[in-house]
Amino acid sequence: FLYKDFGTCQVNACYVNNTTLVARKVQEHFVDGDKLVLKATGHRHDGTTAEADIVLAEFTEAKDSVMYNWSVFDLSKLGAVDYVDFKVSSTNPEVPGYFCLDGLLAGIKVEF
């Protein structure tokens, strides 16, 4: 957030999706119990952080799910932030940590 010294940035949401490569690798390599999760970590100038997660793919006995369409990733619980880190984690090393992000929605308040 460029103007962090003069105001706040409240990140509300964004759209996320798997890349075609990731979706294909999930279908090829995931087995029961595998999961692909995107974690957003909001950082503040005082060192505090907050996190939000969304599952991009999950294979279980009950269901196999892979995100193929744009989905809303609710980031409102991050609160006011200076910046946000995104990290993809997978239980299967054959699946790369890529994802697509679009339409980041934030409220910015700047005071001089």
For residue 60, with 0-12 CB atoms within 10 Å meaning exposed, 13-18 middle and 19 or more buried, which class applies?
Answer: exposed
Q: What is the pLDDT of residue 2?
A: 64
Q: Please list the alpha-helical segments (H only) found in 1-112.
A: 20-29
The percent of residues above 70 in pLDDT, for the chain, comes to 96
Q: What is the pLDDT of residue 33?
A: 95
Measured distance CA(96)–CA(26) in Å, rounded: 9
3-state class (DSSP) for residue 42? strand
Single-letter residue type at 74:
D
Q: What is the pLDDT of residue 104?
A: 93
Given the DSSP bridges, would you call strands 49-59 and 64-66 parallel, antiparallel or unpaired?
A: antiparallel
* DSSP character string of 16-29: EE--HHHHHHHHHH
Q: What is the pLDDT of residue 111?
A: 76
Tens of pLDDT along 18-66?
999 999 999 999 999 999 999 999 998 888 899 999 999 999 988 889 9
